[in-house]
Amino acid sequence: MHKSLWITVLIIFVVFFGLFIRSQVPVIITQDEVFAAIDDAIAETKAQVDKTEVEQVVNKALEKLEARQKKRLKFLVSAYFIIWLIFILYALWLGQTQDQLRKRLDQLEAGR
Amino acid sequence: MTRVQLIGILATLCLFMALYFVFSYAKVEATMLEVQKIFYFHVSSAFTVFIAFGVTCLFSILYLIKRKDRYDMIAVASAELGIVFCTIVLLTGPIWARYAWNTWWNWEARLTSTLILWLMYIAYFILRSALAEETKRVYSAVLGIIAYLNVPIVYFSVEIWQGNLHPSTDTKMNLHPTMVKAWMISWLALSVLYVFLLVLRYQTERLKSQLETIQYQQMEKT
Count residue pairs from A and B with Cβ separation < 8 A: 100
Q: Which of chain A's residues have a Cβ under 8 Å away from the Cβ of B5? A: 1
Q: What SS3 class is residue B49? A: helix
Residue B21 has what DSSP assignment?
I
Q: Which of B9, B88, B211 sits opposite A86 (nearest CB)?
A: B88
Evaluate if pTM is beyond 0.90: no
Chain centroid to Cα B185, Å, comes to 17
In sign, the C-alpha dihedral spanning B40, B42, B48, B54 is negative
- Split at pLDDT 50, 70, 90, the class of A3 is low
Per the document, the length of chain A is 112
- Rounded to whole angstroms, the Cα distance separating B203 from B75 reads 13
Q: What's the whole-number average pLDDT of chain B?
A: 91
Instruction: Check pLDDT > 60 for residue A1.
Output: no
- Rounded to whole angstroms, the Cα distance separating B140 from B75 reads 9
For B80, other C-beta atoms within 10 Å of its C-beta total: 21
- Rounded to whole angstroms, the Cα distance separating A96 from B214 reads 21
Q: Where are the domains positioned within chain B? A: 38-221
Candidates B1, B36, B38: best to mutate against A (most CBs of A within 10 A) is B38
Predicted local confidence at residue A63, as pLDDT = 83
Contact B210/B57 with Cβ under 8 angstroms? no
Contact A66/A26 with Cβ under 8 angstroms? yes
Chain centroid to Cα A66, Å, comes to 15
Strand partners, B29: B33
- Rounded to whole angstroms, the Cα distance separating B60 from B63 reads 5
Predicted local confidence at residue B69, as pLDDT = 92
Task: Print pLDDT tens along chain B (222 aa).
Answer: 788 889 988 998 898 899 889 988 888 888 888 889 999 999 999 999 999 999 999 999 999 999 999 999 999 999 999 999 999 999 999 999 998 888 999 888 899 999 999 999 999 999 999 998 879 999 999 999 999 999 999 999 888 887 666 766 665 567 889 999 999 999 999 999 999 999 999 999 999 999 988 888 888 877
pLDDT digits (tens, 9 = 90+) for A89-98: 898 899 899 9
Q: Which ranges in A1-112 belong to alpha helices (H)?
A: 2-24, 31-45, 51-111
Higher-confidence position of B179 and A3:
B179
Q: Where are the domains positioned within chain A? A: 24-86
Contact B147/B124 with Cβ under 8 angstroms? yes
Predicted local confidence at residue A26, as pLDDT = 58
Q: Which ranges in chain B belong to alpha helices (H)?
A: 3-20, 38-66, 69-100, 109-130, 133-148, 150-161, 177-221
Predicted local confidence at residue B62, as pLDDT = 97
Q: What SS3 class is residue A21? A: helix
Q: What SS3 class is residue B34? A: helix
For A92, other C-beta atoms within 10 Å of its C-beta total: 13
ipTM for this prediction:
0.89
pLDDT digits (tens, 9 = 90+) for A26-78: 556 677 777 888 888 888 888 888 888 888 888 888 888 888 888 888 898 88
- Rounded to whole angstroms, the Cα distance separating B214 from B220 reads 10
Q: Phi and psi at residue A98, in whole multiples of 5°?
A: -60, -45
Strand partners, B205: none
Contact B3/B54 with Cβ under 8 angstroms? no
- Rounded to whole angstroms, the Cα distance separating B207 from B94 reads 37
- Rounded to whole angstroms, the Cα distance separating A18 from A20 reads 5
Predicted local confidence at residue B162, as pLDDT = 72
Q: Which of A16, A86, A95 sits opposite B19 (nearest CB)?
A: A16
Which residues of chain B have a Cβ shorter than 8 Å from any chain A Cβ?
5, 8-9, 12, 15-16, 19-20, 23-24, 33-35, 37-38, 41-42, 45, 84, 87-88, 91-92, 95-96, 98-99, 193, 197, 200-201, 203-204, 207-208, 210-211, 214-215, 218
